[in-house]
Amino acid sequence: MIKGIPYETAWQNYQDHSSDQWRSDDRSKDSLLQQFHPDYQSETITTLQVGANQGDACQRQLAQLLQSNALIDEVDLAGASIVDTDVLIIGGGGAGCAAALVAAEHDARVILTTKLRLGDCNTVMAEGGLQASVGVDDTPQQHFEDTLRAGYFKADRKLVAQMVMDGPDVVRWLIQLGMQFDQESEDPFASLSLKRAGGTSAPRILSYHDYTGLEMMRVLREAVTYRTGIDVWRGKPVIELLSNEFGHCAGAAVYDLSLRKLVLIRAHAVILATGGIGRMHLNAFPTSNHFGATGDGLILAYRLGAKLREIDSFQYHPTGVAHPRHLAGSLVSEAARSAGATLLNGLGERFVDELQPRDVVAASIIRECAEGRGVNWDGQVGVWLDTPRLEQQKPGTLQRFGSLRHLAHKCGHNPAEKPFLVYPTLHYQNGGVVIDRNGGTTVPGLFCAGEVTGGIHGRNRLMG
């Protein structure tokens, strides 16, 4: 039976109560996560039986994919046309486009192949912003410590150090490409606007309204499209990675969806930038991910012998839309909570610090619903994200969030008058392919970038 306080009662409670009213809970963070976070439920985890990670814990659905049979055999390669290049990039999102641009800057011949269109990716779904320690009250050391702490100190320290040190230069590079960021004022020379986010010790979030990823992908896609030396293959998924007689990655077998035939690409280096696995709806959760996020890169790398890590750990974004049902999984950006929006249960009570790390906030929402304090609206259970009181306390705030207002319109309400009903949604894979500081994997010739990689986040990821 679905638990929860009926919508009419919960709506009355919301109107009658102040968001300052807290419901206390004496459970420790560890106890909260163990009891309510999906990663810690025994029925969702199994042990890998074959491959480089034999004996390791793995999410059950992912394990089935990693241990599945190949889609093609050697006989299928007979007669396939062959194309040569210096660098083959698999994936047309933010990481793939950035890798293509950097490779082209070094005069490499690049083929970027994607199973969908260039820019169909999770990058465009990212709303809240990105992190880089560019503020006067912030340092790469603080960013480093925040990242390690959020990931329960399971991340690779060398990778985290590389990320936080490179962050400011990457922001500068994006601005040079033409990316816009929010500024403190309309003066074109004004400082970049920095915001707080869950788990951070200083304002560090750089954003462009609440569609930062879309703005980033706009400039990256344009740069790739007009850059000489980059050949973009659309609608051509990679079926299998190829190795040479030394066991090095030497290219890939690509299926041309329009011509319905295999093409072999031989390359000196192969870069996987295939993103995550959210569209597999792990543990039956809705997802914020785009339709191409089906874990291809993890499977391709594992079949070639690459080592993976933290493949039993996934991030559930706290505030996915819970009602209406057909929009389940659509994100209400963390920018709203960063601006001051609170979470309320069906009794009208706050129950968590909204700027705690995402796993804690998500587990707290699941707890409220599991224990009957959620809001039951037409069979969909969640908690309120209190955007009306945010607008009352900070007039004009919601005007900055175009994606939020557009989402509210699709939900059929005015966010300044009515709160969103939200519930955690599958958002990000915390683990992935083991890499070194150059993106190299345990298989020579194979490199990885973006969400397909493991080691940067540990067992939980900060936003951005």
Average pLDDT over residues 78-103: 97
The answer to whether the CB of 288 falls within 8 A of the CB of 371 is no
Across the chain, mean pLDDT equals 94
Q: Would residue 372 be called left, alpha or beta, if left means φ above 0 and alpha means ψ between -120 and 50 degrees?
A: left
Mean pLDDT of 350-357: 92
What is the CATH number that goes with domain 74-313+430-454?
3.50.50.60
Active-site residues, by number, are 358
Helix then strand then coil, % of the chain, to nearest 5: 35, 25, 45
The pLDDT > 70 percentage for the chain reads: 99
User: pTM of the full predicted structure?
Assistant: 0.93
Residue whose entry in the numeric block shows the structure tokens 């807290």: 22
Query: At residue 447, what is the residue type?
Result: F
| Alpha-carbon gap, residue 88 to 254, rounded angstroms | 11
- With CA atoms as reference, report the closest residue to 220 among 95, 341, 88: 95
What's the pLDDT at 303? 97
pLDDT in tens, 377-403: 999 999 999 999 999 999 998 988 888
Are 403 and 211 in contact by the 8 Å Cβ rule? The answer is yes
- H or E element: which one contains 175? helix 157-177
Residue 137 DSSP one-character state: T
Question: What burial class does residue 169 get, using C-beta atoms within 10 Å of its C-beta: 0-12 exposed, 13-18 middle, 19+ buried?
Answer: exposed
Sequence ranges of the domains in the chain = 5-36+316-427, 74-313+430-454
Termini Cα distance of the chain: 37
For the stretch 152-163, pLDDT in tens is 999 999 999 999
pLDDT higher than 60, residue 1:
no
Which class is 5-36+316-427 in CATH?
alpha beta
- Report the candidate in 344, 404, 394 with the shortest Cα–Cα distance to residue 12: 344
Look at residue 299 in the predicted model and tell me its pLDDT: 98
Query: Of the given ranges (72-81, 198-207, 302-311, 455-464), which has the lowest mean pLDDT?
Result: 72-81
Q: Is the pLDDT reported for residue 21 higher than 90?
A: no
Radius of gyration for the alpha carbons in the chain, expressed in angstroms and rounded: 22
Is the previous residue joined to 188 through a cis bond, with omega within 30 degrees of 0? no
Helices and strands, counts by H and E, the chain: 12, 20
* Nearest-angstrom CA–CA distance, 174 and 86: 25
Give the closest residue to 391 by CA, choosing from 354, 417, 352, 412: 417
- Give the pLDDT confidence score for residue 2 in this predicted structure: 63
Q: Is the pLDDT of residue 45 over 80?
A: yes
